[in-house]
Structure 1
Amino acid sequence: MRVFSRYVEAVTALNNRIGHLSAFLVIPIFLLLLLEVGLRYLAGSPTVWTNELAQMLFGAYVLLAGGFLLANGGHANVDILHGRFRPRQRAAVDVFTSTLMFAFVGALLYFSSSMAWESVSRLEHSMSAWNPPVWPLRLLIPIATALLLLQGLAKLIVDLQVLFGRTPPQSAGTLSAEDAS
């Protein structure tokens, strides 16, 4: 059991670290959009690169947030029902619905890996006037998906522990201490 607890703690810590670091991507996104608005409306000289770079940074931000959100209970669920369940009932529903999550994330990992491999092998660029490389962002898709898959497995371990009456590790981030009892 200690191996499972260490796994949950390590994966949750990794996703929390990545989530906190990726949150700083909001700053350059904001600055790029502010620059574009200023150049467009104040100087009358819009750029060809600021919007595309802001979109690429936002894509990285969204991708890297997946594991962090799952670790901290930030993904959407039907709280009107889910919130009324007792912790063990919630855990049972989450174990059942995790099969859907694993099917989706597994398919996403499979298909995005081949897309990323092809993009990296061609050193793919966008087709815009600015023409930046897009292969790093495409490579980030399977990496972020793998982090989400690892966190999904950690959540499943915690849910199974709750379901079978064991106390999950505190750093799991998915349940509070009172939920575990």
Structure 2
Amino acid sequence: MKPSTLDWVDRLNGRVGRVTSYLILGIIAITIWEVFWRYGFNRPTIWVHETSEHFFAIFFLLGGAYTLSQGGHVRVDVLLLRLSARRRILMELFSSLFFFLFTGLLLWQGIEMGWESVAMLERSQSPWGPYIFHVILMVPVAAFLMLLQGAAIFIRNLGKLREGTAK
């Protein structure tokens, strides 16, 4: 990938992350709605809890690639901090193989789950019973975005290793 392509991946995941972050405002708004109706008029809603779960699931899934681009995922740095920059990059390249394996499996299984969910127009088992295939479809979308971002990071690390900037 060219540097411009790598930057495009960063921008894409940055935009997805920023847009997705607004789902939290949606969760806040509908929760306030629920509190108002439940305690103000003793008229609880049937849809707010499940809708907020759907919003959060989408937020969580689509925010993963953005978090990866910002280096925000949890990792154990105790050993990495003691290594030279070159060895640190080698460790990151090695651990990327596990990332690609896991995320590739997530993409593959997510596509299968999403396909089945859309084919049957899957609904929730709750009394409200909303469609949930749109939430399930976010699993392969999120896995694809994570793979793109992981590939961008991997290629940048390879470049650092080849340039010898990691000494």
TM over 0.5: same fold?
Answer: yes
SS of the equivalent of 2:130 reads coil
Q: TM-score scaled by structure 1?
A: 0.85
Given the superposition, is the C-alpha separation of residues 53 and 142 from structure 1 closer, same or farther in structure 2, using an over 3 Å criterion? same
Q: Which residue of 2 aligns with 1:69?
A: 67
Displacement, 1:124? 1.1
Of residues 96-105 and 32-41 in structure 1, the stretch that sits farther from structure 2 once superposed is: 32-41
How much has 1:82 moved relative to structure 2?
A: 2.6
For the 8 Å contact 1:4–1:157, the answer to whether it is kept is: no
2:11 is the alignment partner of 1:13: yes
Residue identity opposite 1:91 in structure 2: I
TM-score normalised by length of structure 2: 0.92
Please name the residue that 1:87 is paired with: 85
**Offset of 1:166 from its aligned partner?**
5.6
Q: For each residue in 1:81-139, what CA deviation from the matched residue of structure 2 results, as whole angstroms up to 9, or x when unmatched?
A: 33444432221111010111111101111111101001111111112121111111111
Other structure's SS at 2:74 match: coil
- Give the corresponding residue for 1:112: 110
How many angstroms apart in 2 are the aligned matches of 1:43 and 1:85? 61
Per the alignment, residue 155 of structure 1 pairs with 153
Correspondence for 1:132: 130
Give the distance between the partners of 1:107 and 1:133, measured in 2 at CA: 25
Shift of 1:64: 0.6
Amino acid at match of 1:68: Y
Q: Could you tell me which runs of 5 or more consecutive residues in structure 2 were left unpaired when the two chains were aligned.
A: none
Aligned to 1:37: 35
Unaligned runs of 5+ in 1: 168-179
Partner secondary structure for residue 113 of structure 1: helix
Q: Which residue of 2 aligns with 1:171?
A: none
Does 138-147 or 86-95 show the bigger shift? Answer: 86-95
Against the structure 1 CA distance between its residues 34 and 12, is the aligned structure 2 distance closer, same or farther, given a 3 Å change threshold? same
Aligned residues: 167
Greater relative CO, 1 or 2 (CA 8 Å, sep 6+): 1
Aligned mate of 1:22, from 20, 26, 32:
20
CA distance in 2 between partners of 1:158 and 1:126 (Å): 42
